[in-house]
Structure 1
């Protein structure tokens, strides 16, 4: 990332996302992650390919990064969750992030059940809220092995 000095300070402790996906590669999204307790943060620098005609981050780009952050927040609640597939997501835009800005998304899981999980997020750039949203995710979990007595064990 080539963010400015004040934005670099904001990213201390963040690490590269531990995985990639073809879609993230296609949109050149170099995501950073920091999970502390129940809070999952995902950061990304806005590049020219992420901008709309006005030179600010396209809403679809912000939504795509929010989707990753929300899903991660749900997955981080339980190690048996292998994947979280988006069922529904809503994003409300309240501001804009410009070319070169860093967007930091704070995502936190709410209720996580056996099959569905809920999370909410706030996206900020330069200290300003640029979007808020939430998502519901279908969960795929590691199968529980049965012992000889038919009881589940992990």
Structure 2
């Protein structure tokens, strides 16, 4: 499981002209899922996202988590995070999980993050052509991969 996490002043997702999710101050999380991902990956990544200290404290240091600042999370499923670009110029997405596997994993991640934050999170629409708008705050962008969890 891979995540690109961006600290934002605001972010929203629009599908066919309708906003599916929007947040103010918080985290935009782009989530890639592969077939090898399971409960351990979901739990680890959800905890990391909820406790990631990327928000400024009173001294301007990144010492506060999304929970500390009572911010929002916009979670977007993005299979292209598993693009393989070694050969040729057209990316291969063979490692990305098929919808039958990825959708339940995505829904479990939504439930985990909602539970950790104690409030609903905003989402995109799985498999849709989504338009994501954001104002990256900082900019702060962090990439995590659950296959590297022993190295973090």
Q: TM-score, normalised by structure 1?
A: 0.31
Structure 1 or 2: more strand by fraction:
1
Q: Which one has more relative contact order, counting CA pairs under 8 Å at least 6 apart?
A: 2
Which of these two proteins has the greater Rg computed from alpha carbons? Answer: 1
**The structure with more helix, counted as a fraction of residues:** 2
Structure 2 length normalisation: TM-score?
A: 0.31
